[in-house]
Chain A
Amino acid sequence: MIKNAVGRYIPASIKGYGNLTPFAGSDAIYPEIKPKASGIIKRKSKDQNKILPTLVDAIKATGLKDGMTISFHHHFRNGDMVVNQVMDAIASCGIKNLTLAPSSLTEPHDYIAPYVENRVVTKIITSGLRKKLGDLASNGKIEYPVLFHSHGGRARRIEEGSTQIDVAFIAAPGCDFLGNINGTDSLTPCGSLGYAHVDARNAKYVVAVTNEIKGTPLKRISIPHYLVDYIVKIDNIGDPKKIGTGATRLTTNPMDLVLAKISADIIAASPYFKSNFSFQTGSGGAALATTRFLKEHMIKRGIIAGFATGGITSYMVDLLNDKLLDCLYDVQSFDLNSSLSLRDNRNHIEMDSSFYANPLNAGPIVNYLDVVILSALEIDTKFNVNVVTGSNGIIREASGGHCDTAYGAKLSIVIAPSFRSRLPIIVDDVTTVVTPGEDVDIVVTERGIAVNPARKDIESWIKNAGYPVYDINDLKKRIENITGKPEPIKFSDEIVALIEYRDGTIIDTIRKVEQ
C-alpha cells in the first residue's frame, strides 16, 4: 500500500487491472509519448449489408466472445432501453465474462443485476453506478473491482488503449440507411451523442441500435457511417421524457433554489464575471439552477457570456435564445429542450468527450472554463469531494466531469445542502475522494460558505457580495451542532472499486461495507 497525494492508501496492484499508479496531484502526470489506439481495419466494405434483423444477428456478426469488452453511452440517462435489450441478447447467446465499459449506468440498469450475478458481466468500468448495481459492487458481488473514471478520463482511456472496446452498441435516435447517426433527428431524441464518439472512433466493431432507419441521408451527422459496421432496428431505444429526471432534474426544491441563488451571487461578485466569461454547471438540482439566477445578474450588468459547456440544460438554452450567451458546447443534453436546440441552433455545438475533458489531448475545453458550479455528496475539511459513495459507504452516484472541470476552471464552486436526512455534508474525511481538494476553491452551503485557504484572493469579494465566510472546520462544527456527530461507517479491507483520477492514477479505493 502506498499513501497517495490525498492521503489514501493505494495497493501496488489489483486483480483485473495490474499495477496501479497512486495519485500524485492534479497536475503531476505527464504522458509518455505513444501511439493512439484507433480500432481495426477489418474488410472491404463494398456490398456489405449493414442492416441486420436482430441484435443477436449483430452480436454474431461482430464475433463477440467470452472475455471481450462492450460499451454503451448513457445519453438517455434514466430513459435508456438499449443496454437491457442488448444484454438480454448477449446472455441468450451464452456469452460470459464480459467487461462492461459504458460512459455511465443509470437507474433502469437495475435490470441487468442478474447478469452480473451469473457472470455474464464480471467487470464494470464506468463513470457511475446506481441502485442495485451500486449495492452489488459495494458488497463485493462483482468478480473484479469496479473502476470509476471521469468523463475526460474515459476519453483518455479509450484513446490510449487502456479500455479496448471490442463492440460498441450505440443507441442511435437518428440513423439513416448508410449508418450515419445523430441524437437529434428522431421522434425520440437524446440530443448530443458526445460520449459515443470516442467509442465509434476506437471500437473494433460498432453497432447502431435505432428505432427507425431513415431512407434518406441525415443532414446533421454526429457519427459518420464509415465508422458503423451494423445497424439493427428495435421497437424502443429510449424515453426522452426520462432524461431530465434524477440528477438532471429542473428543481423546484426551495433548498436547491437558495443554494443556486447564493452561487450565482458569488459568481457575479467574482472578477471572472465579465463579458465573454465561460461557465459550466454540473448535474444536481441546485448546480443546474444556478444558471437561472446568473441570468438576472447578466441582464442587470449587461454581461454576455462567451460559452457554456457540459451537460446542457433548458436554462442555458434560454441564455442562448436571449442572446446572453454566444455558444454552447454540448457533450450531453440534459433535457428535451436542449436536444431540440442542438438540432436547430448552429451556435449549439455537439462536442465529444475528448473535446470536453480528455487531460492528455492538445487542450480540452474544460481548460478554458472560467467558472464551474458542482454538486457534492460529501466535502471534507481538506476540500476533497465525494460524488460516488453515499454517506453510508454504498456506491450510488457518478464521477462524471467533476474532477475534469474542477481542475480546468479558474474558479470551482461546490454547492450542497449542509445536511441530507441528518447526515452532515462537511466531514473530516470524505468516504471516497473523487476530486482532490487542491482543485476546489469555494464550498457553498445554506448555513455558510468556506474558502480554500490556498485561494486567499477570494474571501474579500465574497464578503463584498454580503455573505459571511467561515473556516471550513467551524462550518463543519456549526452543522454538527444541528445533526449530531455521526458514528463512522465500518469498512472491511476488501477493495470493491477503484477511483481513477482523470490522468489514470488512482485517487482512492472503495472498500466493502461491513454488515
Chain B
Amino acid sequence: MDFIRCETGSLESSDCLVTVEPSNNFSIDIKSTVDRQFYNSILTDIKKTLEKWCKDNNINNPLIKITIDDRGALTFAIKARVYTALNRSANIV
C-alpha cells in the first residue's frame, strides 16, 4: 500500500487537523490545547481508529506518520478525522 501526504480537519476551536504521511517508521505525534488533560485519551482514539482502519482495509503495519494538531475536538471528531485522513492518504474513496 502506498501512502501520500494528506490532511483533514481544521484548526478551529473544537476541531483538529490530522496529517498522514509516508514514513520509514510508524509514529504518532500529538499536539493539543488540552494535552495536559486528554493526551492519553487522544492517543487511544488514534490507535483504535488506526486499528479499525487497518482491519477494514486488510492492511498490516502501515509505514506512516500520523500528526494531530488538536484544538479540543471531541472523541468522535478525532476518530472521524483520523479515519478520513487515512482513507485519503491511501487514496481510498
Binding between chains A and B: yes
Tell me whether B37 and A421 are in contact (CB under 8 A).
Answer: no
Is B55's CB within 8 Å of the partner chain A? no
Is B74's CB within 8 Å of the partner chain A? yes
Tell me whether A421 and B40 are in contact (CB under 8 A).
Answer: no
Closest to A482 in B: B74
Tell me whether A484 and B72 are in contact (CB under 8 A).
Answer: no
Hey, which chain B residues are within 8 Å of A392, CB to CB?
34, 36-37
Q: Mark B56-77, 1 if CB is under 8 A from A, else 0.
A: 0000000000000001111100
Closest to B35 in A: A392
Hey, which chain A residues are within 8 Å of B36, CB to CB?
392-393, 487, 489
C-alpha gap A237/B36 in the complex (Å): 40
Is A320's CB within 8 Å of the partner chain B? no
Is B10's CB within 8 Å of the partner chain A? no
Tell me whether B38 and A486 are in contact (CB under 8 A).
Answer: yes
Q: Mark B7-19, 1 if CB is under 8 A from A, else 0.
A: 0000001100000
Contact with A486, one of B13, B37, B71, B75 (Cβ below 8 angstroms) = B37
Residues facing B in A489-510 (CB within 8 A) are: 489
The answer to whether A484 and B38 touch (CB under 8 A), given A421-B71, A422-B73, is: yes
Is A423's CB within 8 Å of the partner chain B? yes
Hey, which chain B residues are within 8 Å of A422, CB to CB?
14, 34, 37-38, 72-74
Residues facing B in A317-374 (CB within 8 A) are: none
Hey, which chain A residues are within 8 Å of B34, CB to CB?
391-392, 421-423, 486
The answer to whether A487 and B72 touch (CB under 8 A), given A421-B14, A422-B34, is: no
Closest to B78 in A: A422
C-alpha gap A422/B36 in the complex (Å): 12
Hey, which chain B residues are within 8 Å of A489, CB to CB?
36-37
Is B33's CB within 8 Å of the partner chain A? yes
Residues facing B in A408-449 (CB within 8 A) are: 420-423
Tell me whether A487 and B40 are in contact (CB under 8 A).
Answer: yes
Closest to B44 in A: A484
For the complex formed, measure the closest distance between the CB of B52 and the CB atoms of chain A, giving whole angstroms. Answer: 19
C-alpha gap A37/B38 in the complex (Å): 50
Tell me whether A391 and B37 are in contact (CB under 8 A).
Answer: yes
C-alpha gap A24/B74 in the complex (Å): 40
C-alpha gap A333/B85 in the complex (Å): 49
Is A276's CB within 8 Å of the partner chain B? no
Hey, which chain B residues are within 8 Å of A482, CB to CB?
74
Hey, which chain A residues are within 8 Å of B74, CB to CB?
422, 482-484
Tell me whether A421 and B75 are in contact (CB under 8 A).
Answer: no
Is B41's CB within 8 Å of the partner chain A? yes
User: What are 7 inter-chain pairs, A to B, with CB distance below 8 A?
Assistant: A393-B36, A421-B71, A423-B72, A484-B74, A487-B36, A487-B39, A487-B40
B→A interface (CB under 8 Å): 13-14, 33-34, 36-41, 71-75
Closest 10 CB pairs of A and B: A421-B72, A486-B37, A422-B72, A421-B13, A422-B34, A484-B41, A487-B37, A392-B36, A421-B14, A489-B36
